[in-house]
Amino acid sequence: MKGILVVGHGSRSKEAFEVFNSVLNNFKLKVAENVEGCFMELCSPNMPDTIDIMYKNGVRELVVVPYFLFSGIHIKEDIPGILKEVKARYGDLKISMARPIGYNNLIADILRENAEGELTCI
């Protein structure tokens, strides 16, 4: 079975946690695969625990989708390092990683929408 793991950074902010879960739930409606979400730090669940659960539920092909804008240290080193450790435990688990959000024309539309929307005076 194929699964998709969306990895967010994590934050102490309740609002950040809620936004991540809203995005995740909307994403789940758009794909047929088993989708779970997790965090790199500061929030639960973490990557290894979430992958363990997905594996126990029959996932043998995992696509990791970083919910990050850029290819920083988490994308280049931390996530691949965790995935190598998981792969060592589950030899029959095929793991691949998607690129981070990066550039997309839709981001300019979001920025325009936000600039034209409700503003906070400083």
Euclidean distance between CA atoms 22 and 51, whole angstroms: 20
Q: Which of 2, 9, 28, 87 is catalytic?
A: 9
Assigned token pair, 49: 């625990």
pTM passes above 0.75: yes
Residue % of the chain over a pLDDT of 70:
100
* Structure confidence by residue, pLDDT tens digits, 37-66: 999 999 999 999 999 999 999 999 999 999
CATH number of 2-116: 3.40.50.1400
The answer to whether 9 is a known catalytic residue is yes
Q: Which amino acid, one-letter code, is at 105?
A: N
Q: Which residues contact 48 (CB under 8 A, 6 or more apart)?
A: 82, 85, 86
Give the DSSP per-residue string, 54-105: HHHTT--EEEEEE--SS--HIIIIIHHHHHHHHHHH-TT-EEEE---S---H
Residue % of the chain over a pLDDT of 90:
93
**Rg of the chain taking only CA atoms, in angstroms:** 16
In the chain, what are the domain boundaries? 2-116
Euclidean distance between CA atoms 44 and 11, whole angstroms: 10
Euclidean distance between CA atoms 25 and 73, whole angstroms: 26
